[in-house]
Amino acid sequence: MPHSTSLEKNSTVAKTVLNQGLWWCATRKKSAPFSVGFYLSEAFAVLLPALFEQEAVTFEAFEACLKSESQTILAQRMKALRKDPALEQRFLIGLEAEHGTIWLMAQLHWQATDEEEYICAHCVEVSELHALEEELVASNSRLMIERLREREQMAKKEADLLESQYQAQTQFLAMLSHELRSPLMGMNGLIDLIKKNHHQGKSIGEQLQVMRLTVDQLNFLINDILTFSQTQSDQIRIQNSVFNLDEMIRYLRHLTKSIASEKGLNVTVDVSVEHDCFYGDLVRTSQVLLNLLVNAIKFTEQGGVHLSVDERQSDQGTGLVVQVCDSGHGIEDEDLRYIFDPFKQLDAKGRKQYVGSGLGLAIVKTLVEVMGGDVQVRSELTVGTCFEVWLPFPHRSCDEIEVSAIGGMGKSSSFGAAHMPVETEVENPTLPECRVLIADDSMINRRVLETFLVEAGCHVDQASDGNQAWSKFQQKAYEFVFLDIQMPGLNGMQVCEKIRALKPGDCEALKGVFALTAAHTEAEEAEAGIVLDKTLFDQWLEKPVSQDKVIHLLECFSQENSDCRSPDLQTAQADSELASPSKPKQATSETTMDDCVRRAQKEMHEFSLAQVLDDALLGMTPQLITSLQEEVVELKHSLDQKDLVGLSSGLHRIKGNLMMFHVSPLLKLVKCLQQAKKQPEQRDKVDWKMLVSGVNALEKLIDRLH
């Protein structure tokens, strides 16, 4: 009896567990009649009370309570289980209840006997977990959407910024076109007026003075553009030296005197310093103050501009505090935020609109910060504007100043590549008797240089290649040597290396070795297999060279002035173009050889050597034409032999000749031929037919030079 009682208790517990658990079981006979049985635990009565109100709960009725997608999943899993009972079938199903969907994690089991098969499912309610998962998914989706919106907003801001920059630069280019074209057109008219007055014996001094002011204006604009370009590519070089403050101020007053006088303004100066000389970059400091002074004069209609300089000790150390104040209209507070932005032109708001590059103040801020200083601005409407610059320049002894180069301002006062010494016009140039060697594989280039030098009183020898130049240099003492970079045999670089390798006693007379190049970029020289070392030469001359430039150069070196070899003067042209090589325009499908030929033919209809050459060079036109015709014959021979090296050398010589004589229409065609020649990487891919067509067109156009 006790044993029976125990069994009854265990049976009751088992039933309780079974009824509280969520399960169902479907049975099916294996033989006819195929009756189906279905058993559902009482725990489902809480979830599906309507189902239990029916007389008999069937599998079909239970299946109807499932969500449609859950019905499909259940049928697929039951079918798969019959095929392979070993598979674990665990999946999520949803019950459509009165108060919403109930989510169950179901696990199927399959058993079979000889007569029946059983498919049972044990379920666990996971509605809360499912809801949490859905919330996580939704939250993640919202987060992704929010991030996408942020990215969209950021992309829109960047697009707006780029559009703003594009518009600013477009306005800048339009301004630049106006600022360059207007004075050039004015100068063109002045040239005609000067010719007329000169023939009539009238005074031309006033016209020449206006032309000089116009050139200064253009030079100032171009310097700003070059400086800004250097700031954008981090190529600003600071060269500190000891300089005299008073001399710098006098120099600035001299530069701004004419433009201030034109507007009837006074530029007053107040210098309150204990010392005379300071250590800093004189060139960049002058550029900063000149920009500020010119800007103040431009925006002031009445009153004047005041420049003050103080020596001050601060937490940052000893330095100079410079203030430039004007009595102009002033600047609105909202505009002060953008005052140092490049290309920014403030709205005149009914007042006179001033034209300018919009780069001056951007350059000021950049240069001051590069020198370790700071610039601030304050302004009051109808009163004026003040710019204050602090520069960390310590005082030094004036005995440390190096020999003056320009205007008595010290060796480093040449304004870098953008500020070459002014080449004054040479009338009847004469030099102390000097011996000069010219090495160039172009006969006409040698003749032009020889003409310049002989008129100046020099004795000139010529060499047609590098080997000949080296041989002649060893046989005779020359004071000056001009070397073309690309020559047969030894190139100009190799000849110069040999000269520099000599002992000082072997070339005592030598005062200068100058490079001649028709290439605009270092890449063009590299293409010819030449590795450039700019430090070998005393000066770089890019073709075409003028007589004024050559004579000025020889005068400078004849006086054994060490400043002629200063780094900035030495590479003035090379630094602006060779140090930052730009890719030449390539002849693309849009610019074909036919396009180049048509453009050259059109421009040659309006071209005349008499318009671009002086009498000396014009008299050498027959030699030029003969030289070009001979070079074309060599080009055709190279084309017949499919000799790319010979073709390249010939085009380079023709290019140098055309540059020397300013024959721009043919020069453009030759550049097209050079680009078309060097585009293919393999010789068998060169479009020889196109090159032949271009050379034939060049030959016909050369005949028009007669």
Of residues 492 and 574, more confidently modeled? 492
Residue 702: band (very low, low, confident or very high) from pLDDT cuts 50, 70, 90:
confident
Asked which of 145-154, 508-517, 560-569, 684-693 is least confident by mean pLDDT, the reply is: 560-569
Task: Return the structure tokens found at 156.
Answer: 């829109």
Highest mean pLDDT pick, 354-368, 396-410, 523-537 = 354-368
Residue 373: band (very low, low, confident or very high) from pLDDT cuts 50, 70, 90:
very high
Q: Does one domain contain both 445 and 538?
A: yes
For the CA atoms of 80, 84, 87, 91, the dihedral, rounded to the nearest 10 degrees, stands at 20
* HSE-CB of 424 using CA atoms within 13 angstroms: 5
Residue 180: which CATH number? 1.10.287.130
Dist. CA 544–CA 554, nearest whole Å: 17
Dist. CA 479–CA 495, nearest whole Å: 15
Residue 25: which CATH number? 3.30.450.20
378 membership: H or E segment, kind and range: strand 374-380
The pLDDT score that the predictor gives to residue 391 is: 93
Cis peptide before 584 (omega within 30 of 0): no
Of residues 527 and 509, more confidently modeled? 509
Q: Name the domain boundary from 219, 235, 251.
A: 235
Averaged pLDDT for residues 48-66: 84
Of residues 46 and 612, more confidently modeled? 46
The answer to whether residue 408 is domain-embedded is: no
Structurally, how many domains does the chain consist of? 5
Q: Write out pLDDT tens, residues 625-657.
A: 888 888 888 888 888 888 888 888 888 888 878
Averaged pLDDT for residues 679-703: 78
The pLDDT score that the predictor gives to residue 530 is: 62
Dist. CA 689–CA 696, nearest whole Å: 11
Q: Does one domain contain both 394 and 275?
A: yes
Percent of the chain with pLDDT over 90: 14
Provide DSSP, 106-124: EEEEEEE-SSEEEEEEEEE
Averaged pLDDT for residues 261-285: 87
Please state the three-class secondary structure of 133-164 as a single string. Answer: HHHHHHHHHHHHHHHHHHHHHHHHHHHHHHHH
Residue 454: which CATH number? 3.40.50.2300
Contact 405, 419 (CB under 8 A): no
Q: Does one domain contain both 310 and 443?
A: no
Question: Does the pLDDT of residue 414 top 70, yes or no?
Answer: no
Q: Does one domain contain both 163 and 247?
A: no
Q: Name the domain boundary from 342, 376, 400.
A: 400
Contact 477, 508 (CB under 8 A): yes
Task: Return the structure tokens found at 172.
Answer: 């800048």
Q: What does pLDDT average to over the chain?
A: 77
Spacing of C-alpha 11 from chain mean position: 89
The answer to whether residue 451 is domain-embedded is: yes
Residue 654: which CATH number? 1.20.120
Question: Does the pLDDT of residue 326 top 60, yes or no?
Answer: yes
Spacing of C-alpha 142 from chain mean position: 40
Highest mean pLDDT pick, 63-77, 169-183, 388-402 = 63-77
Residue 585: band (very low, low, confident or very high) from pLDDT cuts 50, 70, 90:
very low
The pLDDT score that the predictor gives to residue 405 is: 35
User: Rounded to whole angstroms, what are the CA distances from 625 to 34, 260, 302, 652?
Assistant: 112, 51, 59, 16
The pLDDT score that the predictor gives to residue 72 is: 93
The pLDDT score that the predictor gives to residue 387 is: 94
Beta strands across the sheet bearing 277-280: 241-244, 277-280, 395-396
Asked which of 64-73, 426-435, 467-476 is least confident by mean pLDDT, the reply is: 426-435
Of residues 313 and 327, more confidently modeled? 327
Q: What is the DSSP letter of 614?
A: -
700 membership: H or E segment, kind and range: helix 688-703
Provide DSSP, 60-96: HHHHHTB-HHHHHHHHHHHHHHHH-TTS-EEEEEEEE
Averaged pLDDT for residues 67-89: 88
The pLDDT score that the predictor gives to residue 437 is: 94
Q: Does one domain contain both 481 and 543?
A: yes
Asked which of 211-225, 360-374, 517-531, 640-654 is least confident by mean pLDDT, the reply is: 517-531
Q: Does one domain contain both 250 and 211?
A: no
Asked which of 109-118, 299-308, 346-355 is least confident by mean pLDDT, the reply is: 346-355
Q: Which of 196, 515, 508, 227 has its CA nearest to residue 360? A: 227
Please state the three-class secondary structure of 547-598 as a single string. Answer: HHHHHHHHHHHHCCCHHHHCHHHHCHHHHHHCCCCCCCCCCCCCCCHHHHHH
Dist. CA 546–CA 452, nearest whole Å: 8
Residue 416: band (very low, low, confident or very high) from pLDDT cuts 50, 70, 90:
very low
27 membership: H or E segment, kind and range: strand 22-29
Q: Write out pLDDT tens, residues 168-208.
A: 677 666 656 655 665 676 677 778 778 877 788 777 777 77
Question: Does the pLDDT of residue 480 top 90, yes or no?
Answer: yes
Q: Does one domain contain both 278 and 330?
A: yes
Task: Return the structure tokens found at 307.
Answer: 């420049």
Contact 650, 638 (CB under 8 A): yes
The answer to whether residue 52 is domain-embedded is: yes
Question: Does the pLDDT of residue 314 top 80, yes or no?
Answer: no
The dihedral through the CA atoms of 230, 235, 236, 237 has a sign that is negative
Burial of 40 (0-12, 13-18, 19+ CB in 10 A): buried
Q: Write out pLDDT tens, residues 595-625.
A: 888 888 888 887 887 777 766 677 777 888 8
Dist. CA 639–CA 624, nearest whole Å: 22
Dist. CA 237–CA 243, nearest whole Å: 17
Residue 329: band (very low, low, confident or very high) from pLDDT cuts 50, 70, 90:
confident
Highest mean pLDDT pick, 126-130, 231-235, 360-364 = 126-130
Q: Write out the residue range of the structural domain in which residue 608 sits.
A: 593-705
Residue 71: band (very low, low, confident or very high) from pLDDT cuts 50, 70, 90:
very high
The answer to whether residue 147 is domain-embedded is: no
Task: Return the structure tokens found at 691.
Answer: 């090159």
The pLDDT score that the predictor gives to residue 470 is: 93
The answer to whether residue 407 is domain-embedded is: no
Longest distance between any two alpha carbons in the chain, whole Å: 153
Q: Which of 103, 102, 104, 110 has its CA nearest to residue 78? A: 110
Residue 216: band (very low, low, confident or very high) from pLDDT cuts 50, 70, 90:
low
The dihedral through the CA atoms of 10, 15, 21, 22 has a sign that is positive
The pLDDT score that the predictor gives to residue 483 is: 92
Question: Does the pLDDT of residue 114 top 90, yes or no?
Answer: no
Averaged pLDDT for residues 384-397: 92
The answer to whether residue 377 is domain-embedded is: yes
Q: Does one domain contain both 246 and 231?
A: no
The answer to whether residue 176 is domain-embedded is: yes
Question: Does the pLDDT of residue 393 top 50, yes or no?
Answer: yes
Q: Does one domain contain both 381 and 465?
A: no
The residue assigned the tokens 């109808």 is 382
Residue 273: which CATH number? 3.30.565.10
The pLDDT score that the predictor gives to residue 190 is: 74
Residue 408: band (very low, low, confident or very high) from pLDDT cuts 50, 70, 90:
very low
Question: Which residues have CB under 8 Å from 691's CB, separation 6+?
Answer: 593, 639, 647, 673, 676, 677
Q: Which of 488, 491, 479, 546 has its CA nearest to residue 515? A: 491
Percent of the chain with pLDDT over 70: 76
Q: Does one domain contain both 377 and 480?
A: no
Residue 356: band (very low, low, confident or very high) from pLDDT cuts 50, 70, 90:
low
The answer to whether residue 499 is domain-embedded is: yes
Q: Name the domain boundary from 559, 579, 606.
A: 559
The pLDDT score that the predictor gives to residue 406 is: 34
Q: Does one domain contain both 534 and 387?
A: no
Q: Does one domain contain both 346 and 215?
A: no
Identity of the residue numbered 347: D
Residue 322: band (very low, low, confident or very high) from pLDDT cuts 50, 70, 90:
very high
